Amino acid sequence: MTDAVTTSETQIRSEAERPLRADARRNRERILDSARAVFAQYGADAQIDDVALHAGVGVGTVYRHFPNKDALLAELVRQKFRLFADRAREALEADGEPFEVIEALLRRNAATAAADVGIQYAMANAGEQAWTQAQAEQEELIAVTGQLIERARRAGAIRPDIEAIDIGMLMCGVCSTMLPRPGFDWRRHLDLAIDMLRTR
């Protein structure tokens, strides 16, 4: 699983990202994991120092890997998009009724997002930078999602005017209701959204 991500990362790594020394790579992963944990707990107020402490490295090490806080947040966002794109690609290979494949994918992704509230804070707070930095991954995700939709459309299983970006937007809306708001239930939100995608 993690290997799958690593592989795709290696493929994508474009220009300046020479393979890191083994220990550096390990640290990098630890820092990202810690960032997720710390942002999940403290939200936007989380500090780089806390991330470093949690990862068991010095602050300087965090800054060696990510030039500033925004870049760290952006990487979190990027990783999530990459994961979703990977899963979408897997879904494309999967057998099964086309709409059900999409539904399973969305439910799985939503569950992942809910289990990782840190990312919500990251996305709410990260400025333009995050979206720019993750652009490649997003486009990949959109493209593959487009293929999934196309297949379902041919099967007459999906509302015909739905586009890939719509699904992104709906999921973004679902995620926004994962933050602790009394009375809100993102599973219900997701059910409604999926229901809407179906052909009537």
4/165 with CB nearer a copy of itself: 165
H-state helical runs in the chain? 2-12, 22-42, 48-55, 59-65, 69-93, 98-114, 117-125, 128-133, 135-154, 164-176, 186-197
Does position 153 interact with DNA (CB under 7 A)? The reply is: no
Task: For residue 158, give the DSSP letter.
Answer: B
Does position 131 interact with DNA (CB under 7 A)? The reply is: no
Judged by the rule CB under 8 A, the positions of this chain that interact with a copy of itself are 43-44, 124-125, 127-128, 131, 142, 165-166, 168-170, 172-177, 180-185, 188-189, 192-193, 195-196, 200
Distance CA 145, CA 84 (A): 10
Does position 89 interact with DNA (CB under 7 A)? The reply is: no
Q: Among 15, 23, 95, 161, which residue interacts with DNA (rule: CB under 7 A)?
A: 23
Q: Which does 107 bind (CB under 5 to 8 A by kind): a copy of itself, DNA, none?
A: none
Distance CA 38, CA 190 (A): 26
| φ and ψ of 92, to 5 deg | -65, -30
Residue 113 Cβ, how far from DNA at the closest point, in Å?
23
List of residues contacting DNA (CB under 7 A): 20-24, 27, 45, 47-49, 56-61, 63-65, 67-70
